[in-house]
Structures are given as structure tokens and as C-alpha cells.
Amino acid sequence: MFKDDDVNRYNTKSLKYDFKKDKNKPDDVLPMWVADMDFRCPDEVIDDMKKRLDHGILGYTKNDLEYFNVVSDWFKKNFKIDLKPEWLVITPGVVFALATAVKVLTKVDDCVLINNPVYYPFTEVIRDNKRKVISSDLVLVDNHYEIDFEDLEKKIVDYNVKLYLLCSPHNPVGRVWKRCELDRIVDICKRHDVYIVSDEIHSDFVWEYEHTNILKYEEYADHLILCTAPTKTFNLAGLQISNIFIPNEELRKNFQNEVWNTGYSLVNVMGLVACMSAYEKGYTWLDELKLYLRENIEFVDNFLKSNLKRIKLVKPEGTYLLWLDFRELNLNNEEIDNILLNKAKIWLDNGDMFGDLGKGYMRMNIALPRVKLEYAMKMLKDAFKDY
Ligand SMILES: Cc1ncc(COP(=O)(O)O)c(C=O)c1O
């Protein structure tokens, strides 16, 4: 099984493995932080990239209708959504698209809405572009996060919000927004004329129920931007390709112009080849991977319940990122991180990177071979047994 292979990622210029010193981490920690997987991508994708490479010329490359058809088939089959070719804008990443949307849809000092705790670049793209971050914080109810819709609407009104960056499914808390929740979000945004940029990069990893694609809300399509990518799903993040869909023509033109203004105009050739190959041929690989990831999540859940009752897993409905609650231990994040790095010898993402609501939490990436996960959990147990 490809997932059990312990592939050595050192000396590949891997952000996750090769930059411990730069990031002030001990040399001997197991990286379980940034969201890429320790699994090889599908053989079919590797073969298609090799074939393309064998051609020997890697000149300027452009996406075409065939590319669109492959991408849109994926969304039709998996999310029952009909995309149109003219809606597509390619960017070198979803975070790039989020930043572009902020620039296009708001002005300096405008307020942009997010739901903390959320993937930290959401905050960064707002602040770095000199806009203001307004969070309608998620509410923890019975170890499960929910949106406070009253607060969401109040924040929109009070701060004259015109743009909402929605993380769907939500990283790091693992929520998959239900249809009824999205109904309420869209209804509120509609009433206050708020644009929704929906980051759906994790939508192929859904465990509990169906993921609802934001473009299902056809009647509100002119206020929606859908951000997608094959990079999380097929472990292709280094190829930097994402597919952004914008039905509103004027908004799309403005967005495309803003992308061009950065100097980016053409797709990375290997990104294009890998994206098409993965969406065409990656189904079986992905089915197997999802089973494996679910078992990894179950393993962590059972292990904590049996061995480390005071560390709680916020059970994810989607994503391979686990939000672990250490609050019962009464340690601050620095203390927890110290124990993780120096005793448990594992490197997780510190919860406070995700805002104040991450105090007492850590994010663990479980997309790695089971033997390594078993090792990590045993180390965690030994490190925290006396706390
Ligand atoms: C919610 C979310 N959006 C975007 C990204 C990164 O996307 P990209 O590498 O395409 O910028 C990540 C990566 O972890 C993510 O979790």
C-alpha cells in the first residue's frame, strides 16, 4: 500500500522537513505541522509528468478548454455542480486568490469578515493589504464548533462588512458546513450585499456528510468566488496551481486584472499536467487514501481516549488536520509546544497561530504512515503522562 511506505523526505527542500533550523525547531522532531502529506501522489500523475518531462521542452504553457473540461468534470461528479469555462481564473495558489479577492473587493481600511480560529493566512491577507480583520468567532458547543449567526450578522452590520472569507471545510476545526448552515450564511450575506469567497481546498476530504459547493447558490452567484485546487487532495502543493471560479463577469475581469498586475499570467506546465492527470485518473488512489486517513483519525481518537484522557480531539468532519484541546492541562501554548518539541519530539502547529481562540490548542497533521503516527502518539503519551 502506498500509504504505509515511509518515504524519506529529507534533502528534498521540503518546507515540512528541511527547514527545522530556520524555524528554530530541534533537529530530531517528527514534522506534523504544515498541511501536506507524507504520501507519494498517484502513480498515474507521476507517469504523466514524466512523459511530459521526456518531451524535453518546458516552454510557456496555457490552459485551454480541454483543461477546463477535466477540472469541471471533477466538480460535476463529486459535487454535482455545473461550472462554465469562462468562469475560470488560474492562480498560483488559493492564498494568492484570497489576497487578490481582498484587493479587488475592498479598499484600504475596509473590514473583512472571517471565523476564528481559522487558517492563519486568512488574517494575513487582510492585514497585509491594510484592511481590518473582523472575526465572528466560532463557538464551541459540546466539543463541536458552530457559527453564531446573530453575531455574524451583527458584525456585518456594525462594521459595514462587504467581504466574507469562508473556510469550507474549515481548517483547523474540521467543520463541514451543513446545507442549512450555508443557507443561513448566504441569506445573511444577501440581505447585506456581502461577497463570499469560499475556500474549498479541503472539500475532497469530508468524513461526516456531503460537502456543499458554494456555487450551488445560483441565485447569489454574482456575489460568489469559489476557490479550489487539486493540491491538498493529491499532495501537489509544490506545483502551485489553483482553479478559481467567478461567475460575475465584471468581478472576474477585475480579479483577472489584479492577478495580471502582479506579473503572473501563465500556468506552471507541471501544475497543469498534474492537475489534469489527477482529476482524470486519481479516483481510486483518493478512495484508498480517504479510508487510510479515516483510520488514522480513528486511531488518534481511540488512543487519546484510552491513554491521554485530558487531551481531547475535536472530531473532524473533514480535513486531515486535527484540532487537539490541551486546555485541561492548564499549560500555556509555549509550555505545551516546549513539551511537544523537546519531550514528545513532534512538531505540531501551535494553536495560537490561529488567533486567541487557539489558546490551549495544537493542530496535528495526520497524513502520514500509520507506523509514524503510532510512534508520535506513543511519544505524546510518554511526554504528557505526568501532567
Ligand atoms: C484552508 C486552506 N486554504 C489554502 C491553503 C493553501 O493553499 P495554497 O497552497 O494553494 O495557497 C491551505 C493549506 O493548508 C488551507 O488549509
Question: pLDDT band for position 209 (50/70/90)?
Answer: confident
pLDDT at 21 over 80: yes
Q: Give the DSSP letter of residue 18.
A: T
How far is Cα 172 from Cα 324, in angstroms, rounded to an integer?
A: 10
pLDDT at 2 over 70: no
Q: What pLDDT is attached to residue 10? A: 96
Mutate which of 201, 231, 240 for ligand 1? The one with the most ligand atoms within 8 Å of its CB, which is 201
pLDDT at 332 over 80: yes
pLDDT at 325 over 90: yes
| Helix pair 269-281, 65-79: axis angle to 10 deg | 40
- Nearest protein CA to atom 14 of ligand 1, as residue: 35
Per-position b or e across 124-151, b if 16+ CB within 10 A of its CB: ebbeebebebbbbbbeeeeeebebeeee
Q: Which atom of ligand 1 is nearest to the CA of 96?
A: 11
Tell me the β-bridge partners of 145.
Answer: 140
Which amino acid does the sequence have at 139? V
Across the range 346-373, mean pLDDT stands at: 96
Across the range 270-299, mean pLDDT stands at: 97
Question: pLDDT band for position 208 (50/70/90)?
Answer: confident
Q: Is the CB of 267 under 6 A from ligand 1?
A: no
Give the rounded percent of residues in the chain with a pLDDT score beyond 70.
99
Q: What pLDDT is attached to residue 1? A: 54
Q: What pLDDT is attached to residue 4? A: 81
Find the 336 Cα to ligand 1 centroid distance in Å.
25
Find the 232 Cα to ligand 1 centroid distance in Å.
8
- 2-42+283-384 matches 58-280 in fold: no
Q: Which atom of ligand 1 is nearest to the CA of 231?
A: 10
Find the 329 Cα to ligand 1 centroid distance in Å.
30
Q: Indicate the helix (H) or strand (E) that contains 70.
A: helix 65-79
Q: What pLDDT is attached to residue 290? A: 97
Assigned fold of 2-42+283-384:
Aspartate Aminotransferase, domain 1 (3.90.1150)
Give domain limits for the chain: 2-42+283-384, 58-280
Q: What pLDDT is attached to residue 7? A: 93
What cell was used for 39?
Answer: 504520501
Assigned fold of 58-280:
Aspartate Aminotransferase; domain 2 (3.40.640)
Tell me the β-bridge partners of 325.
Answer: 312, 361
| Residue found under cell 487537539 | 324
Find the 299 Cα to ligand 1 centroid distance in Å.
25
Is the model more confident about 4 or about 301? 301
Find the 327 Cα to ligand 1 centroid distance in Å.
27
Across the range 124-149, mean pLDDT stands at: 97
Structure confidence by residue, pLDDT tens digits, 143-163? 999 999 999 999 999 999 999
How far is Cα 160 from Cα 185, in angstroms, rounded to an integer?
A: 16
Asked if residue 139 lies in contact with residue 189, where contact means CB atoms within 8 angstroms, the answer is: no
- Nearest protein CA to atom 13 of ligand 1, as residue: 35
Tell me the β-bridge partners of 245.
Answer: 88, 226
Mean of pLDDT over the chain: 97
Structure confidence by residue, pLDDT tens digits, 31-85? 999 999 999 999 999 999 999 999 999 999 999 999 999 999 999 999 999 999 9
Structure confidence by residue, pLDDT tens digits, 234-256? 999 999 999 999 999 999 999 99
Q: Indicate the helix (H) or strand (E) that contains 303.
A: helix 283-307
Structure confidence by residue, pLDDT tens digits, 170-191? 999 999 999 999 999 999 999 9
N-terminal to C-terminal alpha carbon distance within the chain: 37
Q: Is the CB of 93 under 6 A from ligand 1?
A: yes
Structure confidence by residue, pLDDT tens digits, 88-119? 999 999 999 999 999 999 999 999 999 999 99
